[in-house]
Structure 1
Amino acid sequence: MLVLCAVSAPRNAAAGVIGADTVWQGEVSVTDDILVPAGVTLTVRRGTTVRVAAAESTKTDPEYLSPLTEITVRGRLVVEGTDAAPVLFSGEGKKTGEWAGIIVDHGTATLLDCRITGADAAITVIDGILRLKGGTLQENRYGLTAQGRTSEVTVEESRVTGNDYGLFTLQGARVVTRGTTVAGNRKKDTHAAVAREEWPVKSLAPVAGPPVGRRYRDEVLRGETVWQGRVQVDGIIRVPEGSRLVVMPGTIVEFSKKDTNGDGIGENGIMVQGRLVAKGTPRLPIVFRSAEAGKAMGDWDSINIMNSAGAQNIIEYCRIEHAYRGLHFHFSNVAVNESALNDNYRAIQFQESVVAMTGNTLCGNRSGVQGRDSRVLFTDNLVCANLMGGNFFRTELTARGNRFVGNAKEGLRVREGVAAITENLFDANRYGFLVADTFYGEINRNSFTNNLEIGISMKNVDNLQVRGNVIAGNGFSGLMVQDARAVIGGNLISDNGERGIGVQTFDGEVSGNSFIHNGRYAIDLDGKKDLAAPGNWWGGDDPEKVILDRQDDPARGVVRHDGEMSEPVPFAWPLPSLLTDITWRGAMTVERPVTVLPGAVLSVAPGTTVRFAPEAGLAVRGRLLAKGTADAKITFTSLTGNEASAWDEVLLEYATGSEITHCVFEHATWGVHSHFTNLSVKDSLFSGNYGGMRFRSGPVRIERSTFRGNTIGIRSYIGNAVITDNTITGNETGIFVREKGGGLAISRNNLAGNSGYGIRVGDFNDEDVDARGNWWGDGDPSAAIFDGRNEPGIGIVRFEPHLNGPVAAGVGATP
Structure 2
Amino acid sequence: MAGAGNLRFLRLVPAALLFLLILTSPAAAKTIIADTEWSGSVLVEEDLRVAPGATLTIAAGTKVLFAEAVSTKTDPSFFSPQTEITVEGKLVAAGTPDAPVTFEPQTGYWGGIIAAPKGEVILRNAVLARAEEALLVDGGTLRAQKTVVRGSDFGLVLAPERIFEGDGLSLESCKVGVVDMAGKADSIAGVTVKDAEDAAFLSFAYTRETPETPVLPEPKGPEREFVGDYTVEGKESWRGVVTISGRVTVPPGSVLNIEPGTRVRFRKKDTDGDNLGEGELLVTGSIRAVGLKENPIVFESAERSPSPGDWDKVSVISSEDPENVFENTLFRYGVQGLHGHFSNLTVRDSTFVSNIRAVQFQESERTTVTGSTFIGNKQAVRFRDSAVTIENCFFSGNDYSVHAFRGSLDFRGNRVIGSKLGGMLAKECSLKVENNLFDLGRNSLKVKGEGAFLTLRANKLLRNTESALSLSYAEGEITGNEFDLAGLDLVGVEEGKVAFRDNVFGLAKRHSIHLSGSKGIDAAQNWWNPENPPEKSIYDGKDDPSLGLVTFEPAKEWATRPH
User: Distance in 2 between the 1:186 and 1:441 partners?
Assistant: 28
Residue from 24, 33, 54 that aligns with 2:47: 33
User: Distance in 2 between the 1:56 and 1:204 partners?
Assistant: 41
Secondary structure of the residue aligned to 1:304 is strand
Query: How far has the Cα of 1:401 moved from its partner?
Result: 0.3
Aligned residue identity for 2:305? G
- Contact between 1:151 and 1:173, CA under 8 Å: does it hold in 2? no
Query: How far has the Cα of 1:154 moved from its partner?
Result: 1.9
Q: Does 1:233 align with 2:244?
A: yes
| 1:298-357: CA deviation from partner (whole Å, max 9, x where unpaired) | 111111111110332010001111111111111111110000011111111111221111
In structure 2, the residue matched to 1:187 is 198
Q: How does 1:700-739 map to 2 (within 5 A)?
A: none
Aligned residue identity for 2:158? A
Query: How far has the Cα of 1:57 moved from its partner?
Result: 2.8
Seen in structure 2, the aligned counterparts of structure 1 residues 229 and 562 have a Cα distance that, compared at 3 Å, is: closer
Structure 2 stretches lacking a partner, 5+ long: 1-11, 13-17
Residue from 280, 283, 305 that aligns with 1:272: 283
Q: Which range is displaced more, 207-216 or 385-394?
A: 207-216
| 1:10-41: CA deviation from partner (whole Å, max 9, x where unpaired) | 22225211011111111111111110122211
Seen in structure 2, the aligned counterparts of structure 1 residues 544 and 328 have a Cα distance that, compared at 3 Å, is: closer
In structure 1, the residue matched to 2:7 is none
In structure 1, the residue matched to 2:296 is 285
| 1:701-727: CA deviation from partner (whole Å, max 9, x where unpaired) | xxxxxxxxxxxxxxxxxxxxxxxxxxx
Seen in structure 2, the aligned counterparts of structure 1 residues 456 and 554 have a Cα distance that, compared at 3 Å, is: closer
Seen in structure 2, the aligned counterparts of structure 1 residues 21 and 371 have a Cα distance that, compared at 3 Å, is: same
- Contact between 1:146 and 1:175, CA under 8 Å: does it hold in 2? no
- Contact between 1:151 and 1:174, CA under 8 Å: does it hold in 2? no
Secondary structure of the residue aligned to 2:368 is strand
Aligned residue identity for 2:19? V
Aligned residue identity for 1:510? A
Query: How far has the Cα of 1:109 moved from its partner?
Result: 1.1
Could you say what the CA RMSD is over the residues aligned between the two structures, in angstroms?
2.1
Secondary structure of the residue aligned to 1:234 is strand
Seen in structure 2, the aligned counterparts of structure 1 residues 474 and 187 have a Cα distance that, compared at 3 Å, is: closer
Seen in structure 2, the aligned counterparts of structure 1 residues 396 and 341 have a Cα distance that, compared at 3 Å, is: same
- Contact between 1:156 and 1:177, CA under 8 Å: does it hold in 2? no
User: Distance in 1 between the 2:344 and 2:501 partners?
Assistant: 37
Seen in structure 2, the aligned counterparts of structure 1 residues 545 and 507 have a Cα distance that, compared at 3 Å, is: closer
Query: How far has the Cα of 1:373 moved from its partner?
Result: 1.4
Q: What TM-score does the superposition give when structure 1 sets the normalisation length?
A: 0.64
Seen in structure 2, the aligned counterparts of structure 1 residues 12 and 113 have a Cα distance that, compared at 3 Å, is: same
Q: How does 1:481-500 map to 2 (within 5 A)?
A: 481-500=493-512
In structure 1, the residue matched to 2:135 is 123
In structure 1, the residue matched to 2:68 is 54
Seen in structure 2, the aligned counterparts of structure 1 residues 16 and 203 have a Cα distance that, compared at 3 Å, is: farther
Residue from 503, 522, 527 that aligns with 1:509: 522
Query: How far has the Cα of 1:202 moved from its partner?
Result: 4.7
Seen in structure 2, the aligned counterparts of structure 1 residues 125 and 517 have a Cα distance that, compared at 3 Å, is: farther
Seen in structure 2, the aligned counterparts of structure 1 residues 146 and 201 have a Cα distance that, compared at 3 Å, is: farther
Query: How far has the Cα of 1:167 moved from its partner?
Result: 2.1
Query: How far has the Cα of 1:205 moved from its partner?
Result: 4.0
Q: Does 1:110 align with 2:122?
A: yes
In structure 1, the residue matched to 2:372 is 360
User: Distance in 1 between the 2:297 and 2:469 partners?
Assistant: 37
In structure 2, the residue matched to 1:319 is 330
Q: How does 1:161-172 map to 2 (within 5 A)?
A: 161-172=172-183
Seen in structure 2, the aligned counterparts of structure 1 residues 555 and 419 have a Cα distance that, compared at 3 Å, is: closer
Seen in structure 2, the aligned counterparts of structure 1 residues 173 and 259 have a Cα distance that, compared at 3 Å, is: farther
In structure 2, the residue matched to 1:67 is 81
Residue from 267, 287, 294 that aligns with 1:256: 267
User: Distance in 1 between the 2:244 and 2:440 partners?
Assistant: 39
Seen in structure 2, the aligned counterparts of structure 1 residues 512 and 393 have a Cα distance that, compared at 3 Å, is: same
Aligned residue identity for 1:5? L
Seen in structure 2, the aligned counterparts of structure 1 residues 546 and 214 have a Cα distance that, compared at 3 Å, is: closer
Aligned residue identity for 1:587? T
Aligned residue identity for 1:430? R
Aligned residue identity for 1:79? A
Residue from 428, 447, 450 that aligns with 1:435: 447
| 1:723-744: CA deviation from partner (whole Å, max 9, x where unpaired) | xxxxxxxxxxxxxxxxxxxxxx
Secondary structure of the residue aligned to 1:450 is strand
Residue from 223, 228, 252 that aligns with 1:213: 223
Seen in structure 2, the aligned counterparts of structure 1 residues 155 and 175 have a Cα distance that, compared at 3 Å, is: farther
User: Distance in 1 between the 2:133 and 2:439 partners?
Assistant: 23
Q: How does 1:490-569 map to 2 (within 5 A)?
A: 490-505=502-517, 506-516=519-529, 538=533, 544-549=535-540, 551-552=542-543, 557-565=548-556, 567-568=557-558
Q: Does 1:457 align with 2:430?
A: no
| 1:244-302: CA deviation from partner (whole Å, max 9, x where unpaired) | 00011111111111110011111112111111001111111111111111111111111
Seen in structure 2, the aligned counterparts of structure 1 residues 13 and 550 have a Cα distance that, compared at 3 Å, is: closer
Seen in structure 2, the aligned counterparts of structure 1 residues 552 and 91 have a Cα distance that, compared at 3 Å, is: closer
Structure 1 stretches lacking a partner, 5+ long: 523-537, 569-585, 590-609, 611-815
- Contact between 2:521 and 2:550, CA under 8 Å: does it hold in 1? no
In structure 1, the residue matched to 2:20 is 4
In structure 1, the residue matched to 2:560 is 587
Higher relative contact order (CA 8 A, sep 6+): 2
User: Distance in 1 between the 2:473 and 2:239 partners?
Assistant: 50
Seen in structure 2, the aligned counterparts of structure 1 residues 563 and 318 have a Cα distance that, compared at 3 Å, is: closer
Give the fraction of aligned pairs with identical amino acids, expressed as a percent.
Answer: 32
Query: How far has the Cα of 1:554 moved from its partner?
Result: 5.2
Query: How far has the Cα of 1:178 moved from its partner?
Result: 5.3
Q: Does 1:473 align with 2:485?
A: yes
Secondary structure of the residue aligned to 2:486 is coil
In structure 1, the residue matched to 2:6 is none
Aligned residue identity for 1:252? R
Number of residue pairs aligned between Structure 1 and Structure 2: 542
Q: Does 1:244 align with 2:260?
A: no
Secondary structure of the residue aligned to 1:124 is strand
Aligned residue identity for 1:162? S
- Contact between 1:454 and 1:476, CA under 8 Å: does it hold in 2? yes
In structure 1, the residue matched to 2:416 is 404
Aligned residue identity for 1:83? P
Residue from 199, 202, 212 that aligns with 2:209: 199
- Contact between 2:308 and 2:334, CA under 8 Å: does it hold in 1? yes
- Contact between 1:147 and 1:173, CA under 8 Å: does it hold in 2? no
Query: How far has the Cα of 1:560 moved from its partner?
Result: 4.4
- Contact between 1:493 and 1:515, CA under 8 Å: does it hold in 2? yes
Query: How far has the Cα of 1:517 moved from its partner?
Result: 5.2
In structure 2, the residue matched to 1:145 is 157
In structure 1, the residue matched to 2:146 is 134
Seen in structure 2, the aligned counterparts of structure 1 residues 326 and 550 have a Cα distance that, compared at 3 Å, is: closer
